[in-house]
Amino acid sequence: MIIKAPAKINFGLWIGVKREDNYHPVSTIFVPVTLYDVLKLEITKTAGIRFNTGSSEIPGDNENLCWKAAERFLSRAGLSSGVNIDLEKNIPVEAGMGGGSSDAAAVLSGLSKLHPETLSKKEIFDIAVTLGADVPFFLQDSPCSASGIGEILDPVDFSRIFSRPSKTGSPHGFILLVIPSFPTCSADAYAEFDRQLAGSPQKYGSKPAPVDYAEILQSLTSISDAKNSVANDFEPVLFPHYPELEEIKQKLYNAGADYASLTGSGSVVYGMFLAEDNARKAEVIFKESYRTEVVQPIS
């Protein structure tokens, strides 16, 4: 079985004070996009997991989320069979695009199809939550608002503000991904957020209540309106340490982006364009220095 695992971007990201369980409450809009890892799953008669990542940079052992997903599914379902997993990696690593989480969700989805009627949707969701806060999102197939630690999901209509009438082709807008050569570690980003929050709580987003990005999305009339109301709380934390990221964001606006932002904890910065021609012209500006991808939202 061949499965495509999509990347995501965050449209807005509010981060709250760390909870006693060490998770941070968040509010965000997860938007899946047309950049995919590709996984091949094959059931084996003998027990065990074989995982080929095709890269020395990605662990192929039981520390990988794909391995853990397969292990927990097979154990929960009480199956004696095993699985071979081959991963073709296209989503950048430690880039704020959820590649590892999406791969894990793809393994769960794939195994549920290869072993139908073994686990319920709720059981699969419960496994996903144990793997990571954003893994449950990738069991969906459309944009969602996320709250809690990212596991409380509600579908949203993102195309309402990011599409235009089209007689031919897709009506959706286009997203230019600018992918720096360096990663940013999510755990380190949260640790720096906590440090800066403790030193200056008013500046770094210690709010009495979460920002409700689902509500803000409903209030927007166009994607360009988001400039003044949709923000990523990691930007003031990370931009002083990685000024190049702030420069990329500003260059995207200079190139005509209707909206631009860091996604997740980075390092990818994206620009949203209603017209494909504008996205492609902007891509030329970055292509010599960065890996770039022009993608669309999945809805």
Q: How far apart are CA 35 and CA 13, in angstroms?
A: 21
Task: Examine the domain organization and report whether 169 and 148 are in the same domain.
Answer: no
Q: What's the rounded mean pLDDT across residues 248-262?
A: 98
Task: Examine the domain organization and report whether 237 and 183 are in the same domain.
Answer: yes
Question: How long a stretch of residues is the chain?
Answer: 299
| Catalytic annotation present for 134 | yes
Distance of CA 194 to the CA centre of its chain: 21
Other CB atoms within a 10 A radius of the CB of residue 134 amount to 25
Task: Examine the domain organization and report whether 275 and 260 are in the same domain.
Answer: yes
**Does position 17 have pLDDT exceeding 60, yes or no?**
yes
Q: What's the rounded mean pLDDT across residues 18-46?
A: 95
pLDDT at position 208 is: 45
Task: Examine the domain organization and report whether 117 and 130 are in the same domain.
Answer: yes
Least confident of 8-17, 164-173, 277-286: 164-173
Domain count, the chain: 2
Torsion angle in degrees (nearest 10) through CA of 42, 298, 262, 268: 40
- Domain boundary (122, 155, 188) is at 155
Q: Taking the CA atoms of the chain, what radius of gyration do you get in angstroms? A: 19
pLDDT at position 198 is: 83
| Catalytic annotation present for 249 | no
Spot the catalytic one: 37, 68, 89, 134: 134
Query: Taking each helix axis from N to C terminus, what angle separates 99-114 and 121-131, rounded to the nearest 10 degrees?
Result: 150
Q: What's the rounded mean pLDDT across residues 134-142?
A: 94
pLDDT range class, residue 165, cuts 50, 70, 90: low
The model's pTM: 0.94
Give the CATH number of the domain where residue 290 resides: 3.30.70.890
pLDDT at position 60 is: 80
Other CB atoms within a 10 A radius of the CB of residue 51 amount to 20
- Domain boundary (155, 187, 207) is at 155
Q: The tokens of 217 are what? A: 């999305």
- Domain boundary (134, 155, 176) is at 155
Domain holding 214, by residue range, is 158-295
Q: What's the rounded mean pLDDT across residues 245-256?
A: 98
Which tens digits make up the pLDDT trace of 258-272?
A: 999 999 999 999 999
Which tens digits make up the pLDDT trace of 69-96?
A: 999 999 999 999 999 999 999 999 999 9
Tell me the backbone φ, ψ of residue 226, rounded to 5 degrees. -70, -20
Task: Examine the domain organization and report whether 121 and 184 are in the same domain.
Answer: no
Kindly give the pairing relationship between strand 291-295 and strand 174-179: antiparallel
Task: Examine the domain organization and report whether 55 and 102 are in the same domain.
Answer: yes
Task: Examine the domain organization and report whether 109 and 172 are in the same domain.
Answer: no
